[in-house]
Structures are given as structure tokens and as C-alpha cells.
């Protein structure tokens, strides 16, 4: 088989642009959000507008979002510009953190010190009260991401989701254990590029935030 025929016979990869939602007041205050449906703040809405401009030339053919409003509001400006619907994907929600939600890291360590230690250790079978284990969360969100990628083989898909989901995607693409300490950035409204094939996800680029750092854009940004 010659090179042209071999390339034609090879299964196409899906190009996935994965984005964390824009900033919320709870992000700024370092409070755990989880399933709590917190809206974007003014800076988060500005980030969503900048994201829409940055994605204009990416050739996106489908947009999927967590059904929480902070993710949908981040996806909407680009969807409006591209003339595409935002498709709800509830399994792209953040991890359910139960009684941790609404609390700061310091409050969690003060009120539930034993739970805080288990959480910091990334114990895969630990769940905060009424929350979700790390293992169950990873299985839920990675199953959703894989299904979306398989449905759009050969296309470019935008996925707007949450920091925890992006963390799982990064680990899957780099073959990093769920329990390994995190050393990568999960910034609001940055663009993270992956490819998906029958071999799984691979990392192409991470935390592209140039659209949030241009001098002209910075001058237009509202105060935080």
C-alpha cells in the first residue's frame, strides 16, 4: 500500500478544543463550586468574549458544554458568532463536592481536617459528604469526552467544561496517574488542544491564554 492509500485508510482523529469556563466570584474567592450553579462575574463574561474572538479561525463544527451556567455562558458568545448551537452535556459537569461546596480551602481544612488530608492526597475512593469519589468522577467525565470525540471523528469539537474535567483530560492524554500531584495550569477561559483516535487522547497544546493577555485586551478588561 502506497503512502497516499495508507493515509486514506487510516482512521481520522478528532480535534478537541477543551476550555474551562470563565471566572466566577467563587473562583476569585477560591471557593469550591462543584455542582453549585454559580454565574460568571464581569471578568468571566469579558473572558468569554475574548475566547470567542480567539476561536474564530479554528474551524469548530460542534460545541458541547456542561449544563451549568458558568460553562454555557462561556460557550455562548462563540456559538452566537459561529451560528452553532451549544449542546448540553451534563456529564461534563465538575466533580460533585457535597458539603465542601461553597467553602474555601482554609474552611475545609478547619472544619473537616481528616477529609482535607484525604482530598489533598487524591485518594481515588474518597468522597466528601454527599459528594463523588475521584474515581467515579474520572470515569463519568472521561466516558463523556470519549463519546463526544468518537461521534465527531475527523472534525473539530469545542468542549466547555470545568477545571476538574480538564485535569482528567490532561492525565488521560499524558498517561498520568489520578493520584500524581498536579503540576499543570487549569486557567479560566484558556484553550487546551488535544487529538483523539482509537489510541485515546494525546496532548497537542495546553493553557493557551494569549487571547487574555494582549495589551489592547488587557486595557479593555473590567476590574476584578
Q: Could you write out the DSSP letters of every residue in 74-133?
A: HHHHHHHHHT-PEEE-GGGSPPP-GGGTT-BHHHHHHH-HHHHHHHHTT-TT---TT---
Q: Regarding beta strands 191-197 and 200-208, do their DSSP bridges make them parallel or antiparallel, or are they unpaired? A: antiparallel
CA 156, 162, 165, 166 dihedral sign is positive
Half-sphere exposure for 187 (CA within 13 Å, toward CB):
16
Catalytic amino acids? 21, 94
More confident residue, 73 or 221: 73
Using alpha carbons, select from 186, 221, 142, 205 the residue that is nearest to residue 15: 205
pLDDT in tens, 113-157: 999 999 999 999 999 999 999 999 999 999 999 999 999 999 999
Beta carbons within 8 Å of 113's beta carbon, 6+ residues apart: none
Is the distance from CB of 120 to CB of 108 less than 8 angstroms?
no
pLDDT in tens, 190-207: 999 999 999 999 999 999
In angstroms, rounded to a whole number, what is the distance separating the alpha carbons of residues 36 and 49?
Answer: 23
Record the cell numbers describing residue 76, joined without a space.
455562548
Rounded to two decimals, what is the model's pTM?
0.91
CA 26, 28, 30, 33 dihedral sign is positive
Distances (CA, A) of 205 to 17, 185, 211: 10, 12, 15
User: In the beta sheet, which residues pair with residue 208?
Assistant: 191
In angstroms, rounded to a whole number, what is the distance separating the alpha carbons of residues 192 and 162?
Answer: 12
Structural domains present in the chain: 13-220 (3.40.50.1240)
Hunting for cell 478528532 — which residue is that? Answer: 14
Hunting for cell 454527599 — which residue is that? Answer: 130
Residue 83: DSSP 8-state? T
At 143 the pLDDT is: 98
At 4 the pLDDT is: 42
User: In the beta sheet, which residues pair with residue 203?
Assistant: 194
Residue 55: DSSP 8-state? T
pLDDT in tens, 18-56: 999 999 999 999 999 999 999 999 999 999 999 999 999
Amino acid at each position: 500500500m502506497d503512502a497516499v492509500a495508507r493515509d486514506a485508510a487510516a482512521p481520522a482523529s478528532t480535534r478537541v478544543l477543551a476550555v474551562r469556563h470563565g471566572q466566577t466570584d467563587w473562583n476569585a474567592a477560591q471557593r469550591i463550586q462543584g455542582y453549585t450553579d454559580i454565574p460568571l462575574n464581569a471578568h468571566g463574561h469579558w473572558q468569554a468574549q475574548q475566547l470567542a474572538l480567539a476561536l474564530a479561525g479554528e474551524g469548530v463544527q460542534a460545541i458541547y458544554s456542561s449544563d451549568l451556567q458558568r460553562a454555557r455562558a462561556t460557550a455562548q458568545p462563540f456559538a452566537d458568532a459561529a451560528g452553532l448551537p451549544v449542546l448540553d452535556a451534563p456529564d461534563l459537569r465538575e466533580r460533585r463536592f457535597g458539603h465542601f461546596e461553597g467553602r474555601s480551602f482554609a474552611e475545609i481544612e478547619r472544619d473537616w481536617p481528616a477529609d482535607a488530608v484525604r482530598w489533598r492526597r487524591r485518594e481515588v475512593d474518597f468522597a466528601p459528604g454527599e459528594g463523588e469519589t475521584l474515581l467515579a468522577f474520572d470515569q463519568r467525565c472521561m466516558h463523556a469526552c470519549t463519546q463526544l470525540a468518537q461521534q465527531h471523528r475527523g472534525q473539530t469539537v469545542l468542549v466547555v467544561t470545568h477545571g476538574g474535567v480538564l485535569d482528567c483530560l490532561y492525565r488521560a492524554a499524558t498517561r498520568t496517574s489520578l493520584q500524581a500531584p498536579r503540576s499543570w495550569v487549569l486557567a479560566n477561559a484558556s484553550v487546551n488542544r488535544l487529538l483523539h483516535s482509537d489510541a485515546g487522547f494525546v496532548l497537542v497544546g495546553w493553557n493557551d491564554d494569549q487571547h487574555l493577555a494582549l495589551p489592547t485586551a488587557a486595557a479593555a478588561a473590567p476590574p476584578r
